[in-house]
């Protein structure tokens, strides 16, 4: 499964939320892709998820695994557990329409150093 975000800010937050150390994010690439509007997209709304879905990683993984097994759409749009109003985009590389996904650009990505200062509020 390709795990993507609907915007760069969300992708950044997802990386930070899932990284163990600062060294995990030293050499990242930002891959910009295009998904044609003509492909099949399933949209999963937050209301249809379990109440504890943001805290229950196994539940979320099972939702994704079940979607992959069904393979009835190329894309699944899901709420982000980090920022539920934003959407993560899951792409099934085994789907027959995967060849329609196109890489537009790939660039080095570096986090702003201000994110890693110690703040005392």
Mean pLDDT of 7-35: 89
pLDDT of residue 115: 81
- The pLDDT tens digits of the residues spanning 40-79 come to 999 999 999 999 999 888 998 999 999 999 989 999 999 9
Can you give the pTM of this predicted structure?
A: 0.86
55 exposure class (CB count in 10 Å sphere: 0-12, 13-18, 19+): exposed
pLDDT of residue 78: 95
Percent of the chain with pLDDT over 70: 97
Mean pLDDT of the chain: 91
pLDDT of residue 109: 92
Q: Alpha helix locations (H) across 1-107?
A: 8-18, 57-70
pLDDT at 18 over 80: yes
Query: Rounded to an integer, what distance in angstroms lies between the CA atom of residue 66 and that of residue 7?
Result: 25
Residues 72-107: b if buried by 16+ CB within 10 A, e if exposed? ebbbbebbbbbbeebbbbbbbeebebeeebeeeeee
């Amino acid at each position: 499964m390709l795990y993507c975000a609907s915007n760069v800010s969300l992708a950044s937050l997802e990386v930070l939320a899932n990284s163990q150390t600062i060294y995990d994010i030293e050499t990242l690439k930002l891959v910009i892709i295009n998904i044609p509007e003509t492909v099949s997209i399933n949209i999963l709304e937050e209301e249809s998820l379990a109440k504890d879905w943001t805290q229950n990683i196994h539940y979320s993984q099972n939702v994704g695994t079940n979607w992959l097994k069904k393979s009835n759409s190329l894309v699944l749009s899901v709420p982000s557990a980090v920022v539920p109003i934003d959407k993560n985009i899951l792409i099934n590389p085994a789907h027959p329409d995967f060849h329609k996904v196109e890489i537009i650009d790939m660039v080095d990505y570096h986090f702003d150093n201000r994110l890693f200062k110690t703040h005392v509020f």
